[in-house]
Amino acid sequence: MSAALDEFARHWARSMARTSYVPVRLDDLGQVLLGHAERMVGSTDGLVAAREVGAALVDDGYTNVSALQATVSALAERFPPTTAEPGRPDRIARTELLGAVAAGYAQALRERTQRELESIIRAVLTARRTAEQAWAASEARFEALFVSSASGICVVDPENRIVQANPALARMLDRPVAELVRRRLTGLAQPSHRPAVAEALAELHAGRRTHAELDAAFGRPDGGTVWLRLSLAPVPHGEVTHLVVTAQDDTERYHLQSALSHQALHDPLTNLPNRALVLRRLDELIDRLGPDEHVGICYLDLDGFKTINDSFGHAAGDDVLRTVAARLAGCVAEPGWLAGRLGGDEFVIVAAGPDPTRLVRVAERVVSAVRQPIPAAGHQLSVSVSIGVTDDRIPHSQPADLMRAADIALYWAKAAGGDRYEVYDASRHDAQALRSTLATGLRSALHRDDFTLRYQPIVRLTDGVPIGAEALLRWTHPEHGPVAPEIFIDLAEEIGLIGQLGRWVLGRGCQQAASWYRELGERAPFVSVNLSARQLHDVGLAEELLRTLAEVGLPPTRLQVELTESALLGPAQGPADVLQALAAHGVRVAVDDFGTGYSNLAYLRRLPVRELKIAGAFIEGLAPGHPGTPADRQIVASVIALAHGLNLTVTAEGVETLEQAQLLRSMGCDHAQGWWFARPGDPDVLTEMIVGRGGKPVDPVPTH
């Protein structure tokens, strides 16, 4: 029997494995089933044992119908016959055994299913009770938070109406809760802030955003304003979405921030906008300019304000600044215009509009308004103002460009004496900028030795032979090309370089004259060099010049110095002493441009002058057909006669035609220079004219 049961158990295990999922190894399953078979064979009540085996299969987890089917088939086919009861066949006993196994299996399966169902029901009931308790607790917490929160809270429906509001929001808006309900949130905001609130609500309702924050001002019934920091978020409410809005009262912070911003952007003394705000407003106006609009500024500076502070104290100066600020504000009443203080006694007016000439009229009003006496520190003070005016029609009209242009125009007004305005002119500024560039280049040119000398012959009118040459200074700027001598000589005077420049010309001119003298001997021309009035006041000029002559080997008689009438006039004895010292050593002294000065000839009697050079303006009048010919002839003839009466020789400058040269010779003029004889050129021109007889003899015009 033991071998038969073992074989049956293995067959039963294989059947189970073929028809159902077996969670254990096949050998282990065979041992379990062998135990079940032994129980049914060895039990005194085989049917009871069979029912227990069916239930055990369910307990082991074989709840699939296929497992029961495999068990029944195995029992029917291979189970060893049990001891039959008397009078009953083995087949019937096996059939009852199968029914008992099936019955035990079914009963156990029903009980297991019932237990699982009951467990599920208990779990559902427990979850429901837990959810209900949690919901109730959540509702209680929300209600407590909603009612007692210091933050304002409201619920807004899709039409932006408030459906629920808490007491904190009611206190912020100074309205009862009942009044807030059904009001539109946008309608409670100040008009200028409604668009921003409406846009945030629309974005959230449409689902384009999940959260929004913004600052907005809301009105109160008493006309006041409360600033709220709003935080908005959507929450589902059935089939529609509501918004929960929380609000923080930000009014105090807003007022504090506004006060700090005002202090940062306004002058504390005058309460006018400061430089930062002025430049910001100017930038905004330029960005918003229409095609026919202009923006401009008046740059103001009080005249002599330092004197007020020094004479009456800084308290009086502060009174003046406050009064001027108030008057400026009264002159710019137009919307969008701005008066500001840049610092110290500097103010500015910023204006925009279609008519740029209005800015000039404002400048006129400001000049007139500031002139009115100002009470300060117990005194009535008279104050004036200088103003630079400009608008955006200048190139590259950005704020910095406008300020720079106005500052330049202000400088012009100051230079003109103050108490006035000047309008910026680009061409005038360009000329001044060029002058500044040339002044800078002049210094560099002097250090680099960039100057050159050109020599214009001075000839005898009797035979046209050169007897001297005037040294003429020339300068070519590396960017602007040749610069007219009257421009850079004037600049040298202005910036204090004329002394150095004059010494350079004297040194180079003497070197060239010495070269002529070594080459031509007594036929060599003298060199004539112009001296400025400032050089004449240099007490060391005579000693330095005589030392230069000795160094280059030039006899003093081969040097002539030319001075204008204005340089010779004056009560100072210094120039006379210098000229006397030079003349004592043989240096020639000539008066240049005679006739254009003050016509005071007393200096001719007290100075060692040897020659007069008649100004070219009078020689020009000698040309036939010139409107000034009769008068100029008389003047030239008188000067020649006067000079000869004082034992002086006469040189005519600017001779450009043969007729002029002939007429001058007929009048008794000694020497001449001009384009008719030769243009200023290299030193070789003089050598060729002397050696090669390149002069132009002049026949006198017969006199009647």
Contact 643, 650 (CB under 8 A): yes
Q: What is the pLDDT of residues 310-323, one digit of tens each?
A: 888 888 899 999 99
- When pLDDT is cut at 50, 70 and 90, the band that residue 459 belongs to is very high
Query: What is the structure's pLDDT at 69?
Result: 81
Q: What is the pLDDT of residues 106-163, one digit of tens each?
A: 888 788 877 776 776 677 677 777 777 766 666 666 666 677 787 888 999 989 999 9
Query: What is the structure's pLDDT at 655?
Result: 93
Both structure tokens of 163: 């459906």
For the ranges 16-30, 260-274, 296-310, 512-526, the maximum mean pLDDT occurs at 512-526
Query: What is the structure's pLDDT at 644?
Result: 93
Q: Is the pLDDT of residue 627 over 80?
A: no
Query: What is the structure's pLDDT at 704?
Result: 41
Query: What is the structure's pLDDT at 692?
Result: 76
Measured CA to CA, the distance from residue 305 to residue 372 in angstroms comes to: 15
**pLDDT above 90 coverage of the chain, percent:** 28
Q: Is the pLDDT of residue 290 over 80?
A: no
Q: What is the pLDDT of residues 80-92, one digit of tens each?
A: 765 444 444 444 4
Contact 324, 370 (CB under 8 A): yes
489 burial (CB, 10 Å; 0-12 / 13-18 / 19+) is buried
Measured CA to CA, the distance from residue 252 to residue 154 in angstroms comes to: 22
Q: What is the pLDDT of residues 404-424, one digit of tens each?
A: 888 888 888 887 888 999 888
C-alpha 483 chain-centroid distance: 37
DSSP, res 615:
-
Say whether 34 sits in a helix, a strand or coil: helix
Both structure tokens of 443: 């210094």
Q: pTM for this structure?
A: 0.48
Query: What is the structure's pLDDT at 696?
Result: 64
- When pLDDT is cut at 50, 70 and 90, the band that residue 392 belongs to is low
**Higher confidence at residue 438 or residue 673?**
673
Q: Is the pLDDT of residue 598 over 60?
A: no
Measured CA to CA, the distance from residue 649 to residue 614 in angstroms comes to: 11
Lowest mean pLDDT among 63-77, 161-175, 202-216, 319-333: 63-77
Q: Is the pLDDT of residue 453 over 90?
A: yes
Query: What is the chain's mean pLDDT, rounded?
Result: 82
- When pLDDT is cut at 50, 70 and 90, the band that residue 697 belongs to is low
Q: Is the pLDDT of residue 99 over 90?
A: no
Burial pattern 299-323, b for ≥16 Cβ within 10 A else e, equals bbbbbebeebeeebeeebbebbbbb
Query: What is the structure's pLDDT at 603?
Result: 65
For the ranges 539-543, 587-591, 697-701, the maximum mean pLDDT occurs at 587-591
Q: What is the pLDDT of residues 473-518, one digit of tens each?
A: 898 877 777 877 877 787 778 778 888 888 889 999 999 999 999 9
- When pLDDT is cut at 50, 70 and 90, the band that residue 562 belongs to is very high
Average pLDDT over residues 246-259: 83
Q: What is the pLDDT of residues 165-183, one digit of tens each?
A: 999 899 999 999 999 998 9
Map tokens 């034992």 to a residue: 647
Average pLDDT over residues 394-403: 70
Q: What is the pLDDT of residues 652-683, one digit of tens each?
A: 999 999 999 999 999 999 999 999 999 999 99
Lowest mean pLDDT among 467-476, 557-566, 600-609: 600-609
171 burial (CB, 10 Å; 0-12 / 13-18 / 19+) is middle
Measured CA to CA, the distance from residue 270 to residue 567 in angstroms comes to: 52
Query: What is the structure's pLDDT at 396?
Result: 45
Q: Is the pLDDT of residue 332 over 90?
A: no
Query: What is the structure's pLDDT at 83?
Result: 45
Q: Strand runs (DSSP E) across 335-414, as ranges?
A: 338-343, 346-353, 374-376, 379-381, 385-391
